[in-house]
Amino acid sequence: MFKFILWLILIQSTVQKTLVVMDFDHTIVEKNIIQLLTDMLPKDKLPVETKESFLKTFSFIPHTQLFFKKVHELKVTEQKMLQLIENQPPIDEMDKVLRILHHQNCDIVIISNSYSVFVESWLRFRSLRHMVNRIFTNPAWFDSTGLLHVKGYHFQSKCRLSPSNLCKRSVMEFFLKYQRFQGISYNKIIYIGDGKNDMCAALSLKENDLLFPRVGFLLHSMLSNITRRIKPKIFPWTNGSNIINILQTNKL
């Protein structure tokens, strides 16, 4: 009886909301810092990541650290790197997507295989940081000499669809559990992404959830080729206006 009353109190005190999970690179902004620096610097001076080097650790982190050491040797400053990221506009109307969903009282988290310092600085520069509840990404920081240090978000070997430094599904599940503890549960998840590393989280979504894979990117083509039934409703997108239209048409 006591357990039943406790359960009833818990149910009644739980707030039901919509959770928005967004990727960052190629979903909110078009290019990541590695691509921006590669466009700017002489290509023969930069280390090239090969399939073999990735397969050694199933992670981009060791190569990225090498890359930033080289960038440091080429005298690219912290200020210059932050400027490169901040000056990059959002993908068409993706900032509006964030604003609308925030205005609708959704909780918004970013789960990204990018680097904390760049995601944070872009959002702050665009006055969008306060709209995002949590950012889950690889920690990165500049030391006093201006060298950028990067670390994996975590280490995992269970998920074969994700790199060893980040399984987005496990991060999402951790967040859902954490929020339940705080008395917040979600009746719907809106997941917006583009990459192969969004696939594992996408497959864990339920019937009531909405999945937005970016057209022409790996998540979309992987979903098109998959034979098993996917539970969430799928809405392919090419820009923020598509997402806004779909959300409005479906009264979401």
| Binding region for Mg ion (CB under 5 A) | 23, 25-26, 194-195
User: Residue 29 and residue 142: Cα distance in Å, rounded?
Assistant: 22
> Which residue's CB is nearer to Mg ion, number 112 or number 179?
112
- In the DSSP assignment, the letter for residue 41 is S
As annotated, the active-site residues are: 23, 25
The residue assigned the tokens 């990059």 is 88
Contact between 119 and 24 (Cβ < 8 Å): yes
User: Closest approach of Cβ 60 to Mg ion, in Å?
Assistant: 12
> Which residue's CB is nearer to Mg ion, number 26 or number 63?
26
> Which residue's CB is nearer to Mg ion, number 195 or number 232?
195
For residue 166, give both structure tokens.
């980040």
For residue 105, give both structure tokens.
């009282």
User: Closest approach of Cβ 137 to Mg ion, in Å?
Assistant: 11
User: Residue 80 and residue 1: Cα distance in Å, rounded?
Assistant: 63
User: Closest approach of Cβ 29 to Mg ion, in Å?
Assistant: 9
Residue 207: how many CA atoms within 13 Å on its side-chain side? 0
User: Residue 157 and residue 167: Cα distance in Å, rounded?
Assistant: 9
> Which residue's CB is nearer to Mg ion, number 195 or number 213?
195
User: Closest approach of Cβ 169 to Mg ion, in Å?
Assistant: 15
